[in-house]
């Protein structure tokens, strides 16, 4: 699935050129210097990132990314909506320039792409039927009850479940958030594991049919920092993005842009949050 949305540049392209050190700095910087729009790649994962009715990039990760880009002088952009599992391959294939889907910074992903400095700390949770009839709070509960667990192909929760010992026979992998909810509503799974925000969005959509477990019930190591994904080649742009983000993160524009999606000061990363450290986990 691919949808594209183009904005009209609100500032001179020359403003966007100020952050690069010179021609040939990296492929993305060269594109922006040439006047091309920066292309945002994400999957539909409310409230992290999703397209509006006109294809415009919505969700708090897109919102905060646009705040950073504006700080850099970049206001010309396009949105590309894709399947979650295809986000990293799509970036590597140059179908878009940065991943704004709300991707956890994981060692396995750092081997293939670079990440910006962390934009927040987030945890996962289980989506279960109201009343939690199987009393599921942890991955060990999935194993002992024999429950069927659904999650998204390419989600960090696939690795987490396997690390906790959930056998493949108890796991169902689907394309993304929409398919997770469909599996739960159809009774094809007993529990879903996904980001806490994503699970809460499903509760809001189903009028009390489901509930969400406490993220703190899961191991501490399952809490992850999120970053904006970039190609390995675009190091100059990455450095400029991080510099601009340091100026606006947690500020008035950042918080105002993300507040409608439920992002709060509690999601802000600590001062010592490090992409380098997250990439070792």
Per-domain residue ranges for the chain?
4-121+226-271, 124-222
Q: Closest Cα to residue 70, out of 229, 257, 204?
A: 257
Q: How far apart are CA 268 and CA 273, in angstroms?
A: 10
Q: Closest Cα to residue 224, out of 127, 115, 135?
A: 115
pLDDT at 194 over 70: yes
pLDDT (average), residues 125-138: 97
pLDDT at 7 over 90: no
- Torsion, CA 236, CA 249, CA 39, CA 79, rounded to 10: 170
**Do the domains at 4-121+226-271 and 124-222 have one common CATH topology?**
yes
Could you tell me the pLDDT band of residue 4, with boundaries at 50, 70 and 90?
very low
Radius of gyration of the chain (CA): 19
Lowest mean pLDDT among 49-53, 142-146, 167-171, 204-208: 204-208
pLDDT at residue number 220: 84
pLDDT at residue number 266: 77
> Which residues 6+ apart lie within 8 Å of 104 measured at CB?
122, 156, 224, 225, 226
CB atoms within 10 A of CB 98: 26
Higher pLDDT, 202 or 3: 202
- % the chain with pLDDT above 90: 78
pLDDT at 19 over 60: no
**CATH tag for 124-222 (out of 3.40.50.2300, 3.10.20.30, 3.40.190.10, 3.40.50.300):** 3.40.190.10
pLDDT at 95 over 50: yes
- Report how far apart, in Å, the C-alpha atoms of 241 and of each of 86, 125, 172, 235 are: 24, 30, 37, 10
Residue 169 burial (10 A CB sphere; 0-12, 13-18, 19+) = exposed
Higher pLDDT, 93 or 215: 93
- Report how far apart, in Å, the C-alpha atoms of 112 and of each of 89, 91, 155, 239 are: 9, 10, 15, 18
pLDDT at residue number 146: 98
Higher pLDDT, 20 or 177: 177
Q: How far apart are CA 187 and CA 190, in angstroms?
A: 7
**CATH tag for 4-121+226-271 (out of 3.40.50.2020, 3.20.20.80, 3.40.605.10, 3.40.190.10):** 3.40.190.10
pLDDT at residue number 18: 47
- Report how far apart, in Å, the C-alpha atoms of 58 and of each of 26, 41, 86, 132, 273 are: 28, 12, 19, 32, 25
């Amino acid at each position: 699935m691919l949808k594209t949305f183009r904005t009209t540049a609100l500032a001179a392209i020359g403003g966007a050129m100020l952050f690069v050190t010179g021609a040939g700095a990296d492929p993305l910087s060269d594109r922006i210097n040439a006047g091309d729009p920066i292309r945002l790649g994400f999957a539909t994962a409310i409230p992290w990132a999703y397209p509006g009715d006109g294809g415009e990039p919505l969700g708090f990760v897109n919102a905060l990314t646009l705040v950073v880009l504006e700080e850099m002088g970049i206001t010309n952009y396009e949105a590309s909506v894709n399947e979650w599992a295809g986000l990293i391959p799509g970036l590597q294939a140059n179908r878009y320039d940065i991943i704004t889907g709300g991707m956890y910074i994981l060692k396995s992903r750092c081997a293939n792409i670079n990440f910006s400095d962390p934009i927040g700390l987030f945890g996962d949770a289980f989506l279960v039927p109201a009343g939690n009839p199987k009393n599921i709070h942890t991955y060990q509960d999935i194993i002992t009850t024999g429950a069927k667990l659904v999650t998204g192909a390419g989600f960090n929760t696939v690795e987490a479940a396997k690390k906790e010992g959930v056998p493949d026979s108890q796991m169902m992998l689907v394309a993304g958030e929409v398919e997770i909810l469909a599996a739960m509503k159809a009774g094809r799974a007993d529990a879903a594991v996904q980001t806490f925000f994503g699970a809460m969005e499903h509760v809001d959509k189903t009028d009390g049919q489901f509930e969400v477990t406490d993220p703190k019930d899961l191991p501490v190591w399952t809490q992850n920092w999120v970053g904006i994904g970039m190609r390995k080649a675009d190091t100059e742009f990455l450095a400029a993005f991080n510099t601009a983000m340091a100026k606006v993160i947690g500020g008035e524009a950042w918080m105002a842009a993300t507040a409608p999606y439920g992002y709060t000061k509690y999601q802000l990363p600590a001062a010592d949050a490090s992409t380098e450290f997250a990439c070792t986990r």
